[in-house]
Structure 1
């Protein structure tokens, strides 16, 4: 699409009021698609019908919304000539350059949104002069330097979106002064230091995103004071210590993401009181002890990820009460005992990942009632018994990985009914008998791994009908005959 640079000379603004003249002067800095500013007519008396402009009753500009307008160029400091401007939204454009410090003169601004551009440099400390500011959004840019203390001194701020930049330094310790703050996004930066204890004074906080930084220390033990908190994301930092039991008092929690840190101790039983919780992710930490049976009270839970920890004991049967659960990942722990048949009650379950543990006994046939299963990963355990023909009930299955167990008996011919299978691995078990010709019906199968078993007979020629097959491993069996390719 061809772009054009729109410029306006001073003599062209004689008919329009002062705010209109200010707006036209801004266009000297912008490059825009043709016709975008076709409604910005210098012969108009007021700019109130121009695209992106909303006025006060007295014809001065109240809102300038040029978001998603394919603008490029830089932001002019002259914008503060709009003395009654309340909202400025230039988000989702291609603006570059720095944020002018003169924006601090836009004293009537209540909302400033510069997110999703190519801005660089520091956040001007002068923005701390905009005493009425309620929303500050500069996420997804290339801003650097520390967060100015003056920003966190603005008494009316409700929303701070600074994620996905290159910000350094610590989270300002005066964050607790923001008693009206509801949303704080600082994720995906280069922040260091601890999460300030004073954050527990932000009693209206609903969203706290500080993921993917380099934060250290522990979570404030009094986080439970944030009774309105809905989203807590601290993934991928260097946090340690125990999870505060007081988080169980945050009964409005919807998402808790603690993964990829160095948290230790037990997962608090008190999480079971968070009845609105839908996502609980605590992977790649050093949690020990048992999985709390209280998690079975979370009837809105859709995703539970506790993999790659040091958890022990059995899977609580109560998890079968989480009727909305879609993904359950407990792999790479020290879990043991039987796989609870109650998991078969999870009618919406799509992913069950229990590999790399010490489970024993047979695969409970009740699992094959979970007909939404797309991925069943039970490899590297000590499972015994045979593979039930009822596995053909899982018609949505894409991946079935049962390798490195002690499963015996034949490979069920009924697997040929699982027409969506892409990956099938039974390697390193004690399976015997023939390779079922029915596997040739699996036209989407890409990987078939049956090596290191006790299979006999010939390789069925029907296998060549698996036209998507790129990986086939049949070695270390007692197969005979010719390879059918």
Structure 2
């Protein structure tokens, strides 16, 4: 063999070596570029001349240089996911969340048998969830939320016994929650909200003994909550809002002592709110609005020392507000409006130093507004309208220096409008109409530079409209009719 022939052979061999320099996994990754579009910087490190892809952006490798994870979340990707991805035979984690991917989930993804974490959330993927994903026996987390997936959830998904996390919220999934959900004994988080799912919550769900988060809100679920729900002793978040659920709340829920948030609103639950709720010492909020709850508010709720929000409005609750609620020292928002509550407003509510919102309107409360209430100096919104409250408005209301909204209309309040209201410098809306108030309109109201709404109609006010009112430069809605006012309108 001549020298020239040898040199030619060596050049060809060198070129072949350069062409095949990247590993098999690298070749698979480069093939994905045929389906993806992204800004130049995303794939600038993906160099075909590298021996291995382990230093490429988004790529993580095993010690033996095979790809273990691909994370291109929030990379401004568009295009579709290629079935070639399963050529990465040792791939355990695939994260493509928060991009603009479209198309469908390739059924061939079921061939990624080593996959443990799959996240395609927050894209524009449509079509059904492939039944073939049920072949990924090692899968521990499946995140497909915020897409346009439709049809029913495959039973095969709920046969993946290693699953710990299922995030399918905000899609167009139909059908029922698979009855075999109880097979997922390792499941800790189940998010199925914001889909048009129908049927009942499967009773087998109580077998998911590690479940901490159950989100099935904004579906079309019917029936009752499983009576043995208390077996979910690790449950922390229960969201069933905006369904068609009914029946009584199971008393066993009081055994879920790790519960932090309970959302039951906008259903057809009936019966009494269980006394056992008072055992849930970790609760920070309860939302149970727009149902058909009856009976009294349990005094046991006063034991919930971590409670920050309690919303029980728009039910059929009766009786008095339990004074024990004054023990909920962290309470910030209390909404009991539109019920059949009666009796006095407990002065103990004035102990709630963090209370910012108090809604007690549209009930049958009587008696005077307790002056102790004005010790709750964090109050921003106070709604007591449409009750049968009597007495005068205390000058101590000036203690509420954070007050922005004050609604006391449609009661039987009498006496003068306290001039001290002019010290509530943050006040934006003041509604006192349809009472029995008398005397002059305080000129001090002219200090309220942020005041936008002032309703004083249908009282027995006399005198002139104070000129100082024109200083309320934000005022856009003024109602003074049906009084005994005189003089000229100062505008």
Shared fold per TM-score greater than 0.5: yes
Match 1:248 to one of 237, 254, 276: 254
Change (3 A) 1:152 1:48: same
Quick check: 1:277–1:300 contact (8 Å CA) kept in 2?
yes
Aligned partners of 1:121 and 1:470: how far apart in 2?
Answer: 50
Q: 1:13 deviation in Å?
A: 5.9
Aligned partners of 1:352 and 1:162: how far apart in 2?
Answer: 35
Match 1:62 to one of 62, 68, 75: 68
Is 2:197 aligned against 1:191? yes
| Secondary structure of 1:28's aligned partner | coil
Matches within 5 A, 1:394-409: 394-409=400-415
Worse-superposed segment, 111-120 or 33-42: 33-42
Aligned partners of 2:146 and 2:224: how far apart in 1?
Answer: 27
Q: 1:34 deviation in Å?
A: 2.3
Partner of 1:350: 356
Could you give the per-residue CA deviations for residues 230-281 of structure 1, whole angstroms, max 9, x where no partner exists? 0000000000000000000000000000000000000000000000000101
Partner of 1:341: 347
Partner of 1:314: 320
Match 1:17 to one of 7, 23, 30: 23
Aligned partners of 2:386 and 2:44: how far apart in 1?
Answer: 66
Matches within 5 A, 1:258-407: 258-407=264-413
Could you give the per-residue CA deviations for residues 433-469 of structure 1, whole angstroms, max 9, x where no partner exists? 0111111111111110000000001111111111111
Aligned partners of 1:177 and 1:293: how far apart in 2?
Answer: 39
Partner of 2:435: 429
Partner of 1:6: none
Is 2:74 aligned against 1:73? no
Aligned partners of 2:249 and 2:450: how far apart in 1?
Answer: 44
Q: 1:14 deviation in Å?
A: 2.5
Partner of 1:414: 420
Partner of 1:438: 444
RMSD: 1.0
Partner of 1:7: none
Aligned length: 476
Quick check: 1:13–1:24 contact (8 Å CA) kept in 2?
no
Aligned partners of 1:42 and 1:321: how far apart in 2?
Answer: 67
Aligned partners of 1:165 and 1:470: how far apart in 2?
Answer: 42
Aligned partners of 1:460 and 1:42: how far apart in 2?
Answer: 81
TM-score by length of 2: 0.96
Aligned partners of 1:466 and 1:63: how far apart in 2?
Answer: 62
Provide structure 1 residue ranges, at least 5 long, that are not aligned to the other structure: 1-9
Aligned partners of 1:37 and 1:393: how far apart in 2?
Answer: 61
Is 2:121 aligned against 1:120? no
Q: Which runs of 4+ in 1 moved over 4 A?
A: 10-13
Aligned partners of 2:116 and 2:30: how far apart in 1?
Answer: 23
Aligned partners of 2:91 and 2:445: how far apart in 1?
Answer: 68
Aligned partners of 1:13 and 1:210: how far apart in 2?
Answer: 52
Quick check: 1:15–1:42 contact (8 Å CA) kept in 2?
yes
> Which is higher, the Rg of structure 1 or of structure 2?
2
Aligned partners of 1:470 and 1:198: how far apart in 2?
Answer: 57
Match 2:144 to one of 124, 138, 145: 138
Q: 1:11 deviation in Å?
A: 11
Partner of 2:207: 201
Q: 1:39 deviation in Å?
A: 1.1
Is 2:107 aligned against 1:101? yes
Match 1:165 to one of 135, 157, 171: 171
Is 2:263 aligned against 1:257? yes
Aligned partners of 2:20 and 2:285: how far apart in 1?
Answer: 58
Is 2:233 aligned against 1:235? no
Aligned partners of 1:33 and 1:13: how far apart in 2?
Answer: 25
Match 1:154 to one of 155, 160, 166: 160
